[in-house]
């Protein structure tokens, strides 16, 4: 971060009423989360950094799930509510949105895109449900199960080749 005559350089200073509960003002019209939960911290197996969620405690006693000031001011992020009256509501909403993204990620095809399938998807969803129960003081959710998607059957021009591939799993 650049310093400018003893002050932090802010490329887009914000002088509106929104700030975090700890008095931190937005930097470049953005507030970082005051609490975050990251799936990578609880798994030995590789989990992408995409699988996390967080909330922002605002100075006025409300809680936000998005950090950009414009979304907080409008209470809208792509048609979704952003600001909540209670911490529990914000945590539940942030976790639900992460779970939704995780379920959608089954269709991601890139090698490094962080998509989840099968047991990893199941583990991340159950982790998020556990965080919600722990942080909100609610009952523990029943663990979910994700069906494994069978590998696609590839057909070639050679029927004997296909027969061996289907029976041997090759």
Q: What is the domain partition of the chain in residue ranges?
A: 3-168
**In the structure, what pLDDT confidence band is assigned to residue 7 with cuts at 50, 70 and 90?**
low
122-148 in b/e form (b: 16+ CB < 10 A) is bbbbbbbbbbbeebbeeeeeeeeebee
80 or 159: whose pLDDT is higher? 80
pLDDT at residue 5, as a whole number: 52
What's the pTM? Answer: 0.80
pLDDT at residue 111, as a whole number: 59
Q: Which residues pair with 77 in a beta bridge?
A: 80
10 Å Cβ neighbour count for 72?
Answer: 24
Instruction: Answer whether residue 99 shows pLDDT above 60.
Output: yes
pLDDT at residue 170, as a whole number: 45
pLDDT at residue 92, as a whole number: 97
**In the structure, what pLDDT confidence band is assigned to residue 118 with cuts at 50, 70 and 90?**
confident
**The token pair that represents 100 in the structure block:** 């939704």
């Amino acid at each position: 971060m650049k310093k400018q005559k003893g002050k932090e350089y802010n490329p887009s200073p914000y002088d509106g009423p929104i700030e975090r509960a700890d008095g931190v003002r937005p930097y470049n019209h953005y507030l970082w989360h005051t609490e975050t939960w990251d799936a990578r911290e609880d798994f030995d197996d590789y989990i992408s950094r995409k699988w996390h969620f967080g909330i922002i405690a605002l100075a006025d006693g409300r809680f936000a799930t998005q950090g950009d000031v414009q979304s907080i001011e409008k209470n809208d992020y792509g048609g979704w509510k952003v600001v909540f009256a209670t911490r529990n509501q914000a945590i539940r909403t942030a976790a639900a949105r992460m779970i939704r993204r995780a379920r959608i990620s089954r269709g991601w095809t890139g090698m490094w895109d962080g998509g989840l399938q099968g047991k990893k998807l199941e583990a991340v969803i159950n982790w998020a449900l556990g965080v919600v129960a722990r942080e909100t003081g609610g009952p523990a959710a029943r663990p979910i199960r994700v069906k494994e998607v069978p590998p696609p059957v590839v057909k070639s021009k050679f029927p004997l080749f296909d027969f061996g591939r289907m029976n041997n799993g090759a």
